[in-house]
Structure 1
Amino acid sequence: MGRPTSAAQRRVIDAADPVTGRLRATPAQLAALVKRGLAFRHPRPPHDHFLTPAGHRIRAAEPEADTPQEAATPDAGVFTARVGGEEDAPEPGPARQREVHSAWQGLLEMRRMTNPDGSVDRPCGWERAHLVRSAALALEAAGHRPAGAGGAGGYRVRATPQPEAVAVYGPDEETLRACATTLERAGWQAGVCTEPRTAVRYLLASPRRA
């Protein structure tokens, strides 16, 4: 997924349905996009292909993002939600806000297309397979501030030993409860817990099934 998209792949992505993200291309082109995480095959007949959040992000990218200098960047064209504490976090600003918004809208569309009842208020299978990134996207899309390098301020989303659960850390109780409200609105179950040995307060969150 680190390689920049080819001109042919970009044309396929740009030609996707503006509302649903449905793709029309050759089987080989669709398979290549699926392999890179930019598209997914719908599990129900007629098994059409649709853009993933990463694919939506590429379609919404500024034209300048395809310059040779940008294409040389290892992660060019691949959206990554901020989990907090990254050393190489993207700069905040209007461009990042557009990326996050596009990724979140793509995720909602994926929910609509892959949840059996078409629900967008409940996490889908893709989110359950990418718990940390999915929870982080929900938080960032709602305007929460991720922690900076070293963990200073903001939220941090981390994996846990528990199945289908992530831990969200924050600088204070108010931040944790605000994150809990956001995740619950995004279809997650969340509650504040305390680590027994360190007494550190954190949020335990898991995607809701019904």
Structure 2
Amino acid sequence: MTRPPTAAQRRVIDAADPVTGRLRGTEAQLAALVKRGLAFRHPRPPHDHFLTPAGHRIREAVPEVPEEPAAPADAVFAARVGGEERAPASGPARQREVHSAWQGLLELRRMTHPDGAMDRPCGWERAHLVRAAALALEAAGHRPEGPDGPGYRVRATPQPEAVAVYAPDTDTLDACAATLERAGWQAGAYTEPRTRARYLLASPRRV
């Protein structure tokens, strides 16, 4: 069985950027994580280090015996998908968090696409479809459904690489479609046969 990371390594992993997985630490700490397959060093300057899928799994896992009190759930950034029971407060601080997360995602696109393109989704977005689509919408200023009133809702679908986006009216739905297309997604409007509710079926564009 693979040994768990040391306390110091776990702190570096836990402090990784929540969107890009970019790491900060000493050269020795980062080299040790690379050796264990929990991080990789990007081949292009500035040669930053990022979590591998194995590193992400460790970061997202809840330790059986926390070494220190866990941070509250709202201390870690998460895009609003709409309809949350407990949603972060809106305002300038939230806007800054969303803007920072979106810029980090664009940088991840640049770093992980062979051609450095930022106009289409990357692997992280394909692995986190609902969160990625919601981030694109929230970063563009769309309001999610919540205590403040109606808004967009992003939900998973049985279809591979596709999410459903609901909105309270046609104009909002059209605006969400335009935003997702600008963010590198393909979006088409459909009608649910039973409820007649209109929704978008959106998927990340590959080219």
Equivalent residue for 1:91, pick from 86, 89, 92: 89
TM-score when normalising by structure 1:
0.71
Tell me if structure 2 keeps the 8 A contact 1:30–1:49.
Answer: no
Equivalent residue for 1:144, pick from 123, 142, 146: 142
Deviations 1:116-159 (A, max 9, x none): 2110000000000000000000000000000015x951100000
Deviations 1:59-103 (A, max 9, x none): xxxxxxxxxxxx764225421000000011000000000000000
Tell me if structure 2 keeps the 8 A contact 1:85–1:152.
Answer: no
Equivalent residue for 2:30, pick from 23, 27, 32: 27
How far residue 196 of structure 1 moved from its aligned partner, in angstroms, is 1.3
Moved over 6 A (4+): none
Tell me if structure 1 keeps the 8 A contact 2:42–2:50.
Answer: no
Matched to 1:199, the amino acid is R
2:138 and 2:198 mapped to 1: Cα distance? 21
Matched to 1:157, the amino acid is V
Tell me if structure 1 keeps the 8 A contact 2:185–2:205.
Answer: yes
Equivalent residue for 2:109, pick from 108, 111, 114: 111
Q: Kindly name which structure, 1 or 2, has the bigger radius of gyration based on alpha carbons.
A: 2
Match of 2:49 in 1: 49
TM-score when normalising by structure 2:
0.72
Matched to 2:146, the amino acid is G
**Pairing of 1:124-139 with structure 2 (within 5 A):** 124-139=122-137
**Pairing of 1:1-210 with structure 2 (within 5 A):** 9=12, 23=24, 25=26, 26-27=29-30, 30=33, 41=40, 48-50=48-50, 73-75=71-73, 77-149=75-147, 152-210=149-207
2:164 and 2:128 mapped to 1: Cα distance? 14
Matched to 2:30, the amino acid is P
For this pair of structures, how many residues does the alignment match? 174
1:154 and 1:116 mapped to 2: Cα distance? 36
Matched to 1:41, the amino acid is F
Give unpaired runs (5+ residues) of structure 2: 1-7, 53-68
Matched to 1:49, the amino acid is H
Tell me if structure 2 keeps the 8 A contact 1:139–1:182.
Answer: yes
Query: What percent identity do the matched residue pairs reach?
Result: 69
Give unpaired runs (5+ residues) of structure 1: 15-20, 53-70
